[in-house]
Amino acid sequence: MLAGALSVCAGSGVAVAQSAPVERPAAAHPYAAHIAGASQRFGIPEHWIAAVLRAESAGDVRAVSSAGAMGLMQVMPDTWADLRVRHGLDRDPYDPRDNIMAGTAYLREMWDRYGNVGAMLAAYNAGPGRYDEHRATGRPLPAETRAYVAALAPILGGAAPSDAPSRQPAPPPDWRDAPLFVQRPDGSQSTVAPSSDAQSGDLFAAVSERDRP
């Protein structure tokens, strides 16, 4: 992937296409049942999971990266330890079902954190800390991560994850829901005028950077 392609991915949100058909992995996929279960649990499209699995490990259950990432979804040991406890997984990080569950849970967390495919993939591959540093300082992501995003983003683009059945954090308050009046001590109401420092352009610029589903 080229750095420019990643910037485009990170800067533009994924169009929510609730009515679009969701591509499913072929029934012949050796882990189709586990992928379907993870998709249902975490609200990530099945073809997203299958594509990440293929890119991460090429289907090698015992795959271990030079950095120590494990199994089909190449989950790092510390990430696995955290996800295993939070999602009630067994102890074997190489178990196909549990590894797919853990990887899908992590994809969901990265989606919820960043809200677009390019950023989700970059953070999954390089880690959210490294991706946040890239956003804050412009430090280039590793060539491996850039190539990873370039290869997978076109495959994953077009459908946003559904709402996961597990509990999700409440969204932050919308500024448009704020009251137009404030209550005075004497019981009367006073109109709250917008601050001259908050220009409409600033508001829309801030919203456009998030591009959340």
Separation between Cα atoms, residue 208 and residue 101, nearest integer Å: 31
Task: Give catalytic status of residue 209 as yes or no.
Answer: no
Task: Name the token pair of 165.
Answer: 């059945």
Catalytic: which of 56, 109, 133, 144? Answer: 56
Dihedral over alpha carbons 93, 83, 67, 120 (to 10 degrees) = 130
E strands, the chain, are: 181-183, 189-191
DSSP helix/strand/coil, 44? coil
Q: Phi and psi at residue 191, in whole multiples of 5°? A: -70, 135
Closest CA to 100 of 30, 149, 159, 158: 30
**Which residue numbers are catalytic?**
56
